[in-house]
Amino acid sequence: MDQQEAANRIAYLVKELDRQNYNYYVLNIQEIDDYAFDQMMAELIGLEKAFPEFSTPASPSQRVGSDLNQEFQQVAHKYQMLSLSNTYSEEEVMEFDQRVRKLTDEDFEYVCELKFDGTSVSLTYENGLLVRAVTRGDGQKGDDVTANVKTIKSIPLQLKGDYPPEFEIRGEILLPFNEFDRLNRERDEIGEQPFANVRNAASGTLKLQNSSVVASRKLDAYLYYVLGNNLPDDGHLELLKHAATWGFKISEHTRKCHNLQEIFEYLHEWNIKRKDLPVATDGVVIKINSTRLQQELGFTAKSPRWAIAYKFKAEQESTTLISVSYQVGRTGAVTPVANLEPVLLSGTVVRRATLHNADNIQSLDLHEGDVVFIEKGGEIIPKIIRVDLSERHPMTKRIEFITHCPECNTLLVRQEGESAWYCPNDAGCPPQIKGKLEHFIGRKSMNIDGMGSETIDLFFQKNLIRNIADLYDLQKSQLISLDRLGEKSVNRIFESLEISKSVPFERVLFALGIRFVGETVARKLARELKSIGRIGSASLEELTGVDEIGSKIAESIISWFNKEQNRTLIDRLRNHHLNFEIVSAEKEGATEKLKGLSIIISGTFKKFTRDEIKAFIELNGGKNVTSLSPKTTYLVAGENIGPSKLEKAQKLKIPIITEEELVELTN
């Protein structure tokens, strides 16, 4: 195939795949089967690799995603992305209407639209191309998630029709119920913890570092607000209708309302009909239709004056409590779970509900076989809210929290000031052992490829491993004969174990799974005390002298190192050549020229990423802080810095410097 033939074929495939995506994900029309679509996509990807000069950012191949990790940069919003004020009654809607009418003498119309329950995003288009996707963040700035958003097939990469040269459109990223159920079935099959709810699953997916995983999750999106100059209409609903012709997925249920009675009719209608929708909703947004009047009415400090969110009352259902079971986590915390007769609640079948802890069981006064009312807190997590005492049999037995671990029968303990009960048998309790192993091999820890919870369970059942050091004592001959593990998989595991020996000390420290020692704490400890020996022998005063280490964390560290089994574990891992100190290569170029300085960075930068600037500050002995105070030494200001932060810095008389001036401080 010559260049011209390739260019023609690529152009055809791009156009046809875009058309099929739009038909299926926006119009809900399927013209060809999945196999035919996949064959066309595979052909396009192959041609673009062979002829990269014809590949464009708007190609449908961009939706496949990349398996390369990425770091999200923060981007300032051109228009503030504020949240809406909530209301829960028709009386409050009437009060909102009265407030608006006091602010204007104009006649106006309202628009009512469903409030989708996902995660908000703002999309910027220039000359018909998607150039940026940013999360809400703090309203002033958010994370750039463009690569991940490109994988969502209901979001157009290239617009069609007569669109403005530049504009923003905002919407909600969602995980449909059927995809949520599919993902949870898959996670259950491989022994991973199911997602708790669709909102968190959507939000968490959008912030994944691996866009190919995002693509596999099949997120959806509804767009609901257009902003910009030289827009084709003043009406909000009319702009949405224009946006639909440009290729956006717009809810067909958005409706113009001329008075309060029509608004209330819409609220009543969708309080019932929303249960049949394929995605989660938790209310209705009521907006003034005229965008000109919206601008005139303006904003309060937190929300627009021209819109309000009416939240539906959380749906409740009654069902029967079958039993209470208990789960043991990696740290030994024992969590009670209510097992229920299946009941349909907010579009999903609920079989279990959280009971949090022993105090929650006691406050509910739960008895065996109780009829209980459940709801989804904020339409998300199922929980028992009360018991129907009129249905309780007088001879039923009260449910008492267990006294011994359900897995290893060890007497549970409860630490002063904590609500949870713990199994102290961390070296012999199976779920704790397996939980620690899964934490150790995780991506943010040792990143041991080829192993997951299912593999860990297999090795545990075969009595090959009982702690993290056992991983490095494994022999290929032990694994080759195991079911589900071929020679290729075994080789990958051992290659990854060998590579893990070069993981930096701070991640090894985090991987040990010491209670309360997360990524940030591990990094602070490693960089301040520099070796496992110094950390293990440090006093309470030395540990609390490290930035962000309080007495609770320090006591947990001391307790961990006081156990002989953990000191033996360190010795075994050291014999396998894991990094247990900051090696000189990691600190090359380090100085103490910023020692004693508290520095905050804000905005976007040209020469360095935010993480690079933070690393530079720490490398030279400085301290990164996250908020302005009289103790802040410098504010390093990039582009698009929030005006409120600048104003506060000036008020506190904090010197404002550029990234170049920061570097000069170390020269």
In 3-state terms, what secondary structure has residue 447?
coil
What DSSP line would sit under 274-341, residue for residue?
GGGSSS-EEEEEEEESBHHHHHHH-B-SSSBTTEEEEEPPPPEEEEEEEEEEEEE-TT-EEEEEEEEE
d(Cα 415, Cα 419) in Å, to the nearest integer?
8
Q: For 356, left (φ over 0), alpha (ψ -120 to 50), or beta?
A: left
- Compute CA 48 distance to the chain's CA centroid, rounded to the nearest angstrom: 32
E-strand ranges in 483-640 read 598-602, 623-624, 634-637
CA-based nearest residue to 433, from 411, 465, 473: 465
**Tokens representing 40?**
């066309």
Q: How many CB atoms lie within 10 A of CB 367?
A: 18
Residue 115 catalytic? yes
d(Cα 528, Cα 535) in Å, to the nearest integer?
9
d(Cα 556, Cα 463) in Å, to the nearest integer?
29
The one-letter amino acid code at 388 reads: D
Judge contact between 221 and 173, C-beta under 8 A.
yes
d(Cα 111, Cα 578) in Å, to the nearest integer?
61
Q: Which residues pair with 337 in a beta bridge?
A: 325, 354
d(Cα 658, Cα 601) in Å, to the nearest integer?
10
d(Cα 595, Cα 146) in Å, to the nearest integer?
37
**Tokens representing 667?**
């020269």
Catalytic residue among 49, 102, 115, 153: 115
> Can you give the C-alpha Rg of the chain in angstroms?
28
d(Cα 432, Cα 435) in Å, to the nearest integer?
5
**Tokens representing 654?**
């904090």
In 3-state terms, what secondary structure has residue 224?
strand
Phi/psi of residue 646, nearest 5 degrees: -60, -45
In 3-state terms, what secondary structure has residue 46?
helix
d(Cα 134, Cα 125) in Å, to the nearest integer?
12
Alpha helix positions (H), 74-139:
90-103
- Compute CA 107 distance to the chain's CA centroid, rounded to the nearest angstrom: 42
User: Strand 119-126 and strand 129-135: pairing?
Assistant: antiparallel
**Helix and strand element counts for the chain (H, E):** 24, 21
CA-based nearest residue to 541, from 550, 532, 529, 528: 550
Judge contact between 601 and 610, C-beta under 8 A.
yes
Judge contact between 383 and 321, C-beta under 8 A.
no
- Compute CA 611 distance to the chain's CA centroid, rounded to the nearest angstrom: 19
**Tokens representing 612?**
């690079």
**Tokens representing 294?**
């919206």
DSSP percent split of the chain into helix, strand, coil, nearest 5 = 40, 20, 40
Judge contact between 422 and 415, C-beta under 8 A.
yes
Indicate which residues carry an active-site annotation. 115
